[in-house]
Structure 1
């Protein structure tokens, strides 16, 4: 799947798209604006949004509409890359796109558990993506008012079985359904990566996803013990069944550590505790995004003609939208500049 020839055109395309992402200097400028209308006008002048937003009147755009437009840009850019990709590269994009399906399913499930009606307009950012890249009827699932209806709508889809298994438990919560989707997706990525990739692509996918899954497991162990006081058996059931740099015996020791101090001591001896000196059991969440972003940037610069450049761009695009959403909220509520920048940098 790798190689300069197969990636040269796509890499050039993505580099051009990457150059249009919001910079930290631009975030600084956005935070100097006085209201959401000024932010909308600012975004309309940016190359990333100008062509699609040119006909919109910033004076009539409210915060929710801007956030939907930003979210829609993720899916539009994914489709642009997919259209430009060759059949081999589309295998990765098809795999990656499942995270978008899961995102929408989680939104629908949240509405169901909150006993709210799902406004069809809420899925407008996703509709075109689902038409092109999914076999889920997004308009149909948004009419579901119970989990039984939703799961029935998913018959024939790969997410039907993992959700059906959770449905068998009468006490199943929203968290359980969401975790079932995540575990299914993460496990699938790990199990089929060797069938989809080879050479440098396989090496990079193994590295980026391997560290991601290890870090997510470390976060979950830390949170479940520190905040929820969960017993070891419950923690094991919810961990991603993947071992990369984090050894099975280290996971066992962390899960069954009798105290927070003992868990911290064990963590410092792991590969992650040794590699990242500033990383501790207490600041895993804060460092997670930074570390994952650093891994992707390193791999995409080291091998610009590989799957890493696709993954890195999609990741950065999603985080750009998250950061812009935070910036808009900070402008709206008058959050102090330094505090707002901390929120943005940590997202």
Structure 2
């Protein structure tokens, strides 16, 4: 009864927010538009965007502004849930929030290491981060070198990892930092879940993240061997060191597969190959998005009074923003609607 009461109000709130997500039919309407101003005007009339975008002038939209506003809707809806959550539920949200911090760090690192001649403007997100994060966005965006950037993170949980990497003496790329941040975040989640959750919440979180990590590992293995021709030792260092439905022996065999046909044969024998017979090796990346969305929606429907209701909504919201971002870019560059929709559905 305690779990039911603690989640009843939050579940109702999230269900209402979920009903406002943009659906496939609306995405089809968007990709058939001829310019970005039409997209802004359309979204401003949708319940999920009307209040958030009320002050956005569709006639003065500059390149990239829509994408920033789309990202902002994720933060705004996260804040709505956070304000409605109790202390226990906020522990999950605090843990989940690290992914948003990492996204900002990766943007900053790309700006520094790829030597982009652009100014990274994060001012739109500063109010949100001031409430939920120790990251100082103005300080980070002013950095012009990695040592300065790392020291700007001295009060954050990311400092020990990035300080060690920056002082390793190796010539590291954005990819190296990004991969290390991902592994750090995933390891923290896997460790903290047993501390924060019990009962149904623990079961749901373990299932959701366990399947997520397995699918990410499968995707990374396939891409690393097929597209980047990485050696086995390098591939192993990239993988998330947690196992759910994939055993260490299966992981090792997949990494050591000599051909795509051998990888496909091994994949078919795994839990995922048996359960999702329609998924092939080359479809792993788009399949990951759809399988996770389906899993989370199913579990949230079955157990609406558990932590999975928050995870499912946040995943769906981020999925919506990815698809809308792709749709906006297709309209911007004049991609035919039919082709644009294929890109959107694979986002």
TM-score, shorter chain, exceeding 0.5: yes
Cα 1:2/1:131, change in 2 over 3 Å: farther
Q: Could you say what the CA RMSD is over the residues aligned between the two structures, in angstroms?
A: 1.5
Matched, 1:52 2:52: yes
**For the Cα contact (< 8 Å) 1:2–1:307, is it kept in 2?**
no
Cα 1:286/1:55, change in 2 over 3 Å: closer
Match of 1:248 in 2: 248
| Cα distance in 2 between the residues matched to 1:325 and 1:71 | 9
Q: Secondary structure of the residue that 1:45 maps to in structure 2?
A: coil
Match of 1:157 in 2: 156
* CA deviations over 1:122-164 (Å, ceiling 9, x no partner): 2133211210011111110111111111111111311111212
Matched, 1:341 2:341: yes
Q: Secondary structure of the residue that 1:52 maps to in structure 2?
A: coil
| Cα distance in 1 between the residues matched to 2:260 and 2:56 | 53
Match of 1:105 in 2: 105
Match of 1:26 in 2: 26
| Cα distance in 2 between the residues matched to 1:158 and 1:118 | 27
Match of 2:292 in 1: 292
- CA-CA distance at 1:32 after TM superposition: 2.3
4+ runs deviating over 4 angstroms? none
- CA-CA distance at 1:272 after TM superposition: 0.7
| Cα distance in 2 between the residues matched to 1:125 and 1:270 | 44
Match of 2:64 in 1: 64
- CA-CA distance at 1:34 after TM superposition: 1.8
Q: List alignment gaps of at least 5 residues for structure 1.
A: none
- CA-CA distance at 1:37 after TM superposition: 1.1
Alignment length (residue pairs) = 346
Mapping of 1:113-262 within 5 angstroms? 113-116=113-116, 119=119, 122-167=121-166, 168-262=168-262
**For the Cα contact (< 8 Å) 2:3–2:306, is it kept in 1?**
yes
- CA-CA distance at 1:117 after TM superposition: 5.5
**For the Cα contact (< 8 Å) 1:118–1:143, is it kept in 2?**
no
| Cα distance in 1 between the residues matched to 2:48 and 2:286 | 28
**For the Cα contact (< 8 Å) 1:210–1:243, is it kept in 2?**
yes
Q: List alignment gaps of at least 5 residues for structure 2.
A: none
Q: Which moved more, 1:50-59 or 1:206-215?
A: 50-59
Match of 1:7 in 2: 7
- CA-CA distance at 1:81 after TM superposition: 0.7
Q: Which moved more, 1:328-337 or 1:267-276?
A: 328-337
With the length of structure 1 as denominator, give the TM-score of the two structures.
0.96
Q: Secondary structure of the residue that 1:242 maps to in structure 2?
A: coil
| Cα distance in 2 between the residues matched to 1:231 and 1:18 | 43
**For the Cα contact (< 8 Å) 2:264–2:281, is it kept in 1?**
yes
Q: Which moved more, 1:236-245 or 1:28-37?
A: 28-37
| Cα distance in 1 between the residues matched to 2:191 and 2:340 | 40
- CA-CA distance at 1:200 after TM superposition: 1.0
